Amino acid sequence: MPQPIVFSFVGGNTGRWRVENASTIVGEPLKLVSRVDVHEQGKAPAGLVPVWELKGAISNTRYTKRAELVQLSARQETLGRQQATCAALIPIRKNSAWWDLAQDERRAIFEEASRHISIGMDYLPGVARRLHHSRELGEPFDFLTWFEFAPSDASAFAEMLHRLRATAEWEYVDRETELLLRMD
């Protein structure tokens, strides 16, 4: 595996994805933009004028056990599917109470109490996702999750978010924005 790849998510008036819906779930809002562009760090398309830029690195798993990885790998789909013309960018920050927990405590809340992995699994292979870690980069959010799905999976995707936000894990989320995007 090469060095972790850092991706930039750029909000502005240009970019491949049109913002269909922007909701502040908790905490300080992100400035409203009409388009979002996604590219590898340092590979910004010419002419891109960012209103904001959020960065995150693809990294190793932090909570997922081998048995769960095997199940996920068997079901999950890759990004860039032709029918996946819907996307979502969900930046999240967790509070200090979360980060001060030990590894076993975070894992217990994440999966044994909140079923984060299991809930996500219920929406495979329809909803593809990629997690980006931002906390070590000194970014305003800790994670950026990028989702892609077909329009026919949009209501299932909304249900998944609803279930996740009702969990014990989400009590530690102190900033969250949801950007629903369309490729057109």
Q: Which positions lie near its own copies, rule CB under 8 A?
A: 1, 3-4, 6, 41, 57, 59-66, 68-69, 96, 99-107, 133, 135-139
Least Å from the CB of residue 118 to its own copies: 16
End-to-end CA distance of the chain: 33
Query: What is the spatial distance between Cα 91 and Cα 117, in angstroms, rounded to a whole number?
Result: 18
Nearer to its own copies by C-beta: 136 or 159? 136
Task: Say whether 29 sits in a helix, a strand or coil.
Answer: coil
| Residue 29, token pair as written in the block | 């809002």
Backbone angles phi, psi at 112, to 5 degrees: -65, -40
Nearer to its own copies by C-beta: 100 or 184? 100
Nearer to its own copies by C-beta: 32 or 99? 99
Least Å from the CB of residue 14 to its own copies: 26
Give which of 18, 14, 17 is closest to 49, Cα–Cα.
14
Helix locations, the chain, DSSP H: 66-75, 96-99, 103-107, 116-121, 154-165
Nearer to its own copies by C-beta: 10 or 57? 57
Least Å from the CB of residue 113 to its own copies: 15
Least Å from the CB of residue 39 to its own copies: 15
Phi-psi region of 15 (alpha: psi -120 to 50; beta: other; left: phi over 0): left
Nearer to its own copies by C-beta: 137 or 164? 137
